[in-house]
Structure 1
Amino acid sequence: MDFTHTEAQQDLEQLTRSIAEKLTTPERLKELDGAQDRFDDKLWKALADAGVLAAALPESVGGGGFGILEQCSVLREIGRPLAPVPYLSSIVLAASALAEFGDEAQREWAQRAGAGEVVLTVALAEELNDNPAAPVTTATRSGDDWVLTGTKITVPAATFADLILVPATTPEGVAVFLVQPSDAGVTVERQRVTDFSAESIVELSGTKVGSDRVLGSPANGAEIMDWILARAAVALSATQLGTLERALELVAEYARERVQFDRPIGSFQAVAQRLADAFIDVKGARLTLWQAAWRLSENLPAEEEVRTAKFWAADAGHRVAHTVIHIHGGVGLDREHPVHRYFLAAKHNEFALGSATEQLRRLGQILADVPA
């Protein structure tokens, strides 16, 4: 395998970083903290105008024809300044799934998302259900329509999304439905989450949708869910990598500048060891991410690699986040200080779609299922 970044990845990284770092300032983040929805519409428009949103979508929906590797490069650059935009949910998951499995009308949603005209999202998490591939939310037939009932939690961007992809269990298997927030029986309620990102509870109370709102069919619904969940785990790992890389840069800079007992604190053995461990952790997160993303890009079996990447994103993310806070001392606990945002973001990415323990359980099951 070759982890050398493609020319497209490098171009997208540079373009995304130049836009995101220019617009995502601490002042802008503080301004958005007080907003009803933590969504930087100015940055989102700038990314759309620059072609970043469409670049990693298939050519069939007006995209640049790139894929998961390029999407991970964009997510890494979005994670560095903690840019509050729904690239992961709208482009990497929803638009990409519609482009891959949708009919002509459904692919139009993906094209509009790539142009920045609409925001899409995917509702994966449910309370007391640690397996999104087997949703508690149900869908039953009513003539030619489907009736959905259930509750999804921590749905990104749901309050301003134009379309929500909702997995549900049907008598014929798992299927993914296209639900609009304006549909009858849909209730969207904002949630307060760790890093104050825009996430919501979405309740479906007998929501009726037509057969044209099914992505693929129940016959291949499990395949679609596996496709979405694998990319969700890798996408979260890519976002976490950008967050951890920038957090490590900030704490290393602080350790060089902060003087105690007439010496920079970075010269103290205990501090240097913590920084060295964090450096190794970030390298581990980087290696496992690109290994998983590369295998997905090559359509190779990647379940072990995906779980390993998400484990490192969670486990290493936990350690690096605490190292950043501890070395900054009391300053790191100040919620107005920039590094505290990195701590909160890393904790959010750690637990989203399964903690380190959950990833180890799934890896253990994979190993247990291997024939003796």
Structure 2
Amino acid sequence: MDFNLTEAQQDLTGIATKVLADWAERNPKPAATGFDAELWHSFVTTGLLEAALPYSVGGSGFGLLEQCSILTEIGRRAAPVPYLSSIAVGAAALAEFGSADQIECWALPVLRGDMTIGLALGDGFTAADSRLCGTQTAVTAGAFADAFLVVADGCLYLVDRLQFGVVVTGQRLVDTADGALLELDGVEAEFLGGPHAVAWVMRRATLAWCAWQLGVLEQALALTTQYARTRKQFGVPIGSFQAVRARIADAYIDVEAVRLTQWQAACMEAEGLPAAAAIATAKYWASEAGHRVAHTAVHIHGGVGIDIDGPVHRYYAAAKRAEFSLGGATAQLRALGALLAHEPA
């Protein structure tokens, strides 16, 4: 399997890198709202929102691999844009399962930057005749979402925030304030698909978190390596100390494990191959390695690593969020165990 980036991935990565670098230069200490409208508009004007989506929703005909490339660059800046929820999962799910009317009403406005989609993929909702009831906390991008992808009784639905009976309460999560408590009381929802659609969305959302985490960890390691080169103790760079070198070497191996497993899983999913085990493996490494790399970054930086005036704490918080989103390392090992248990001896 060839993990080299395609020409389209390289082009989109270059555009995303430029847009995000310009934004980071103007925003060295971004607000913790979880949504930067100016940056989101830049994604619209440069075509990054529509670039990695199928023609059926007005995209450029690309897909999952291109989305992962863009998400990695977003993670590298820990940038406050809802690309993961609105494009890689929301609009992609509408392209896969939505009707022409649903695509017109929801997917196209998302591509134009006029709407965003939140993800309520937990098990807190029930459905009766397409009316949903229940509660879920920490809904991704829920604080400002115009619609929500909701899993209820094993089926996938789309819920309009403006529907009567929808209550959204903003929440501050570990890194930003984009989360929300979503409460539904007999809300009429649009049906998108059954268990197959739910499984598809869960795979895509998990891969999206892995790709985002890869960028977060790459940048955390880069910041830590640079600091170890320049920070001196006893007259020499701390990077010359054996213990520090060993921590950085282990972090490098962890990041490469995240990269390899994430791209292997993404390629298998993109090619329509059975990818459940590969995705669980990728999320295991995104969680387990994410935990170790985030702590290494803070430990080597010392007090600077938790100073909110510096950048490192943002990557620590971002890595911790990705670690537990859709299940941490233990949950992924259990999923792998269940898959192995169902294989014939």
Tell me the TM-score normalized by structure 1: 0.90
1:115 is aligned to 112
Cα RMSD after superposing both structures: 1.2
Q: Report the counterpart of residue 358 of structure 1 in structure 2.
A: 331
Does structure 1 retain, via aligned residues, the 8 Å contact 2:124–2:136?
A: no
Partner of 1:215: 192
- Shift in Å, 1:50: 0.4
User: Deviations along 1:187-227, whole A, 9 cap, x unmatched?
Assistant: 00011211124010100012134xxx1113xxxx1000110
- Alpha-carbon distance in structure 2 between the residues aligned to 1:352 and 1:57: 24
In structure 2, what is the equivalent of residue 334 of structure 1? Answer: 307
In the other structure, the counterpart of 2:87 is 91
Aligned to 1:182: 162
Matched residue type, 1:8: A
C-alpha change, 1:49 and 1:254, in structure 2 (3 Å) is same
Distance 1:367 1:243 in 2: 31
User: 1:29, CA displacement in angstroms?
Assistant: 6.0
Give the drift of 1:74: 0.2
- Change in Cα spacing, 1:82 to 1:187, as seen in structure 2 (3 Å) is same
1:124 to 110, 121, 126: 121
Find the counterpart in structure 2 of residue 105 from structure 1: 101
Deviation at residue 40 of structure 1 after TM alignment = 0.5
Secondary structure (helix, strand or coil) at the match of 2:254 reads: helix
CA–CA separation in structure 2 for the residues paired with 1:149 and 1:202: 10
Kept after mapping to 1: 8 A contact 2:143/2:177: no
- The residue number in structure 1 matching 2:128 is 140
State yes or no: 1:325 paired with 2:305. Answer: no
* Contact map agreement 1:149 1:207 (CA 8 A) in 2: yes
2:89 is paired with a residue whose SS is helix
Which residue does the alignment assign to 1:32?
31
Contact 1:84–1:197 (8 Å) recurs in 2: no
Structure 1 contact 75–242 (Cα < 8 Å) conserved: yes
- Segments of structure 2 that go 5 or more residues without pairing to the other structure are none
| Structure 1 residue 124, shift from structure 2 partner | 1.1
Contact kept in structure 1, 2:143 and 2:171, CA below 8 Å:
no
Give the superposition deviation at 1:24: 2.7
- Does the C-alpha gap of structure 1 residues 316 and 163 become closer, same or farther in structure 2, counting only changes over 3 Å? same
SS in structure 1 at match of 2:180:
strand
Report the AA paired with residue 50 of structure 1: T
1:129 alignment counterpart: none
SS at match of 1:5: coil
- Which residue identity is paired with 2:27? R
Choose which of 220, 239, 245 in structure 2 pairs with 1:266. Answer: 239
Q: Look up the SS of the partner of 2:35 in the other structure.
A: coil
1:1-372 maps to which residues of 2 (within 5 A)? 1-25=1-25, 28=27, 30-33=29-32, 37-108=33-104, 109-125=106-122, 135-141=123-129, 146-169=130-153, 174-209=154-189, 213-216=190-193, 221-372=194-345
Could you say what secondary structure the match of 1:204 adopts? strand
d(CA) in 1 for partners of 2:47, 2:332: 34
Q: Which residue of 2 aligns with 1:128?
A: none
**In structure 1, what residue type is equivalent to 2:207?**
V
Offset at residue 180 of structure 1 (A): 1.0
Partners of 2:39 and 2:30 lie apart in 1 by 14
In structure 1, the gaps of 5 or more residues are 126-134
- The superposition leaves residues 140-177 of structure 1 with CA deviations (integer Å, 9 ceiling, x where unpaired) of 12xxxx321101221122232221111111xxxx2222
TM-score normalized with structure 2 length? 0.97
**3-state SS in 1 of match to 2:142:** coil
> SS where residue 371 of structure 1 aligns?
coil
In 1, Cα distance between equivalents of 2:60 and 2:30:
33
What SS is found at the alignment partner of 1:207?
strand
Given that 1:312 and 1:356 are in contact with CA atoms closer than 8 Å, whether structure 2 keeps it comes out as yes
Please report how far the alpha carbon of residue 31 of structure 1 lies from its aligned counterpart in structure 2 after TM superposition: 4.8
Shift of 1:32: 1.4
Q: Which runs of 4+ in 1 moved over 6 A?
A: none
- CA deviations 1:242-278 (Å, max 9, x no partner) are 0000110100000000011111000000000000000
Whole-Å Cα distance in 2 between the matches of residues 325 and 266 of structure 1?
A: 15
In 2: Cα distance, 1:96 partner to 1:298 partner:
16
What percentage of aligned pairs have identical amino acids? 51
Give the distance between the partners of 1:111 and 1:137, measured in 2 at CA.
Answer: 27
- d(CA) in 2 for partners of 1:244, 1:159: 26
1:60-98 per-position Cα deviation (integer Å, ceiling 9, x unaligned): 111011011000000000000110000000001010000
